[in-house]
A and B are shown apart, each in its own frame.
Chain A
Amino acid sequence: MSRNPHTSYMTGERGALPFCPGCGHHIIVKSLDKALVKLQKDPKEVVIVTDIGCIGLADIYFTTNAFHGLHGRSITYGCGLKLARPDLTVIVLQGDGGCGIGGTHLLNVARRNIGITLIVGNNFNYGMTGGQHSVTTPTGGITSTTPWGNVEGPMDLCGTAAAAGASWVYRATAFDKDLPDIIARAIEQPGFSMLDVWELCVAYYSPRNQVKKNDLMRLLDRHHLKTGLLANTPRPEYSAQYRAAVEKRKQVTPKPPITEKFSHSVTKQTGIVIAGAAGQKIKSTATVFAQAAMFSGLEVTQKDDYPITVMTGHSIAEIILSPETIDYTAIESPDYFIVISQEGASRARKRIESLEEACTVLVDRDISLPETRAKVERLPFAQTSKEIGRLSIATVALACLLRHSGVFPMEALKEAISTFQKSAIAEMNCKAVEAGARLVP
Chain B
Amino acid sequence: MGREFLEGNEAIARAAIGAGCNFFAGYPITPSSSILHYMLEWVPQNGGTAIQGEDEIASMGFCIAAAMAGRKVLTATSGPGISLYSENIGLAIMGEVPLVIVDVQRQGPATGSATKGAESDIQFVHWVTSGGLPIIALSPATVCEAYSLTYQAFNLAEKYRTPVFLLTSKEIGVTRESVDLSRIQLPPLIERRRPVGAAEYAPHYFDRPSDVPPISDFGGEYISRFTTSTHDKLANMTADPAVIQEMIDHYKAKIDSAIDDISLYEEDLQEGAEILIVSYGITSRSTKVAVREARQKGVQVSSLTLQTLFPVPERAIKSALKGIRKVIVPEMNMGLYIHEIQRLACGMEVIGVNKMDTTLVSPRMILEQGGVL
Chain A contacts to B: CB under 8 angstroms: 43-45, 47, 52, 59-60, 63-70, 73, 75-81, 83-85, 87-88, 104-105, 107-108, 239, 242, 246, 249, 251-252, 255, 257-260, 287, 290-291, 293-294, 298-305, 308, 326-330, 332
* Further 18 A-B residue pairs, CB within 8 A, beyond A84-B69, A257-B1: A60-B236, A80-B63, A80-B64, A81-B66, A81-B68, A88-B69, A104-B54, A104-B55, A105-B54, A105-B61, A249-B44, A258-B5, A290-B176, A299-B177, A303-B174, A303-B176, A308-B115, A328-B363
Nearest Cβ distance between residue B141 and chain A, in whole angstroms?
Answer: 9
Instruction: Please measure, in the bound complex, the distance between the C-alpha atom of A65 and the C-alpha atom of B175, giving whole angstroms.
Output: 45
Residue A64 contacts which of B65, B174, B223 (CB distance < 8 angstroms)?
A: B223
B363 CB contacts on chain A under 8 angstroms: 328
Do residues B176 and A88 form an inter-chain contact, with CB atoms below 8 A? Answer: no
19 contacts between A and B (CB under 8 A): A44-B220, A66-B227, A67-B226, A69-B91, A73-B88, A79-B61, A80-B61, A81-B69, A84-B66, A108-B54, A108-B58, A249-B44, A260-B3, A327-B286, A328-B288, A329-B171, A329-B282, A329-B285, A330-B359
Instruction: Please measure, in the bound complex, the distance between the C-alpha atom of A152 and the C-alpha atom of B30, giving whole angstroms.
Output: 38
Nearest Cβ distance between residue B113 and chain A, in whole angstroms?
Answer: 11
Residue B178 contacts which of A47, A242, A300 (CB distance < 8 angstroms)?
A: A300
Given contacts A85-B69, A257-B2, A330-B359, contact A70 B87 (CB under 8 A): yes
Q: Which residue of A lies closest to B87 (CB)?
A: A70
Could you tell me the dominant secondary structure of chain B's interface residues? Answer: mixed
Residues 137-179 (chain B) with a chain A CB within 8 angstroms: 171, 174-178
Across chains A and B, which 9 residue pairs bring their CB atoms closest together, nearest first? A76-B61, A80-B65, A257-B2, A84-B69, A246-B44, A80-B62, A84-B66, A77-B65, A327-B285
In the complex, B254 has a CB within 8 A of chain A? no
Do residues A302 and B171 form an inter-chain contact, with CB atoms below 8 A? Answer: no
A65 CB contacts on chain B under 8 angstroms: 218-219, 223-225
Instruction: Please measure, in the bound complex, the distance between the C-alpha atom of A252 and the C-alpha atom of B45, giving whole angstroms.
Output: 11
Instruction: Please measure, in the bound complex, the distance between the C-alpha atom of A198 and the C-alpha atom of B282, giving whole angstroms.
Output: 56
In the complex, B360 has a CB within 8 A of chain A? yes
Residues 1-22 (chain B) with a chain A CB within 8 angstroms: 1-5
Do residues B360 and A328 form an inter-chain contact, with CB atoms below 8 A? Answer: yes
Instruction: Please measure, in the bound complex, the distance between the C-alpha atom of A343 and the C-alpha atom of B186, giving whole angstroms.
Output: 45
Instruction: Please measure, in the bound complex, the distance between the C-alpha atom of A293 and the C-alpha atom of B3, giving whole angstroms.
Output: 12
Q: Which residue of B lies closest to A254 (CB)?
A: B1
A252 CB contacts on chain B under 8 angstroms: 41
Could you tell me the dominant secondary structure of chain A's interface residues? Answer: mixed
In the complex, B195 has a CB within 8 A of chain A? no
Do residues B61 and A294 form an inter-chain contact, with CB atoms below 8 A? Answer: no
Nearest Cβ distance between residue A83 and chain B, in whole angstroms?
Answer: 5
A88 CB contacts on chain B under 8 angstroms: 69, 218-219
Instruction: Please measure, in the bound complex, the distance between the C-alpha atom of A308 and the C-alpha atom of B282, giving whole angstroms.
Output: 23
Nearest Cβ distance between residue B172 and chain A, in whole angstroms?
Answer: 9
Do residues A80 and B178 form an inter-chain contact, with CB atoms below 8 A? Answer: no
Nearest Cβ distance between residue A369 and chain B, in whole angstroms?
Answer: 23
A73 CB contacts on chain B under 8 angstroms: 57-58, 61, 88
Instruction: Please measure, in the bound complex, the distance between the C-alpha atom of A294 and the C-alpha atom of B2, giving whole angstroms.
Output: 11
A328 CB contacts on chain B under 8 angstroms: 285-286, 288-289, 360, 362-363
In the complex, B106 has a CB within 8 A of chain A? no
Do residues A77 and B61 form an inter-chain contact, with CB atoms below 8 A? Answer: yes
Do residues B58 and A258 form an inter-chain contact, with CB atoms below 8 A? Answer: no
Do residues A104 and B58 form an inter-chain contact, with CB atoms below 8 A? Answer: yes
Nearest Cβ distance between residue B278 and chain A, in whole angstroms?
Answer: 17
In the complex, B70 has a CB within 8 A of chain A? yes
In the complex, B229 has a CB within 8 A of chain A? yes
A259 CB contacts on chain B under 8 angstroms: 2-3
In the complex, B51 has a CB within 8 A of chain A? yes
In the complex, B250 has a CB within 8 A of chain A? no
Q: Which residue of A lies closest to B360 (CB)?
A: A330
Of the listed residues A76, A79, A259, A304, the one surrounded by the most CB atoms of chain B closer than 10 A to its CB is: A76
Nearest Cβ distance between residue A254 and chain B, in whole angstroms?
Answer: 9
Instruction: Please measure, in the bound complex, the distance between the C-alpha atom of A60 and the C-alpha atom of B91, giving whole angstroms.
Output: 18
Of the listed residues A43, A239, A257, A298, the one surrounded by the most CB atoms of chain B closer than 10 A to its CB is: A257
Do residues B228 and A68 form an inter-chain contact, with CB atoms below 8 A? Answer: yes
Given contacts A108-B54, A329-B285, contact A67 B219 (CB under 8 A): no
Q: Which residue of A lies closest to B57 (CB)?
A: A73
Do residues B5 and A287 form an inter-chain contact, with CB atoms below 8 A? Answer: yes
Residue A251 contacts which of B23, B45, B61, B68 (CB distance < 8 angstroms)?
A: B45
In the complex, B76 has a CB within 8 A of chain A? no
Q: Which residue of A lies closest to B23 (CB)?
A: A84
In the complex, B237 has a CB within 8 A of chain A? yes
Instruction: Please measure, in the bound complex, the distance between the C-alpha atom of A45 and the C-alpha atom of B222, giving whole angstroms.
Output: 10
Nearest Cβ distance between residue A285 and chain B, in whole angstroms?
Answer: 13
Instruction: Please measure, in the bound complex, the distance between the C-alpha atom of A45 and the C-alpha atom of B87, giving whole angstroms.
Output: 28
Residue B237 contacts which of A43, A44, A60, A64 (CB distance < 8 angstroms)?
A: A60
Given contacts A44-B219, A255-B4, A300-B178, contact A105 B58 (CB under 8 A): yes
Instruction: Please measure, in the bound complex, the distance between the C-alpha atom of A402 and the C-alpha atom of B224, giving whole angstroms.
Output: 64
Do residues B49 and A239 form an inter-chain contact, with CB atoms below 8 A? Answer: yes
Q: Which residue of A lies closest to B2 (CB)?
A: A257
In the complex, B204 has a CB within 8 A of chain A? no
A47 CB contacts on chain B under 8 angstroms: 218-219
Instruction: Please measure, in the bound complex, the distance between the C-alpha atom of A83 and the C-alpha atom of B88, giving whole angstroms.
Output: 18
B218 CB contacts on chain A under 8 angstroms: 47, 65, 67, 81, 85, 88
Do residues A290 and B178 form an inter-chain contact, with CB atoms below 8 A? Answer: yes
Q: Which residue of A lies closest to B70 (CB)?
A: A84
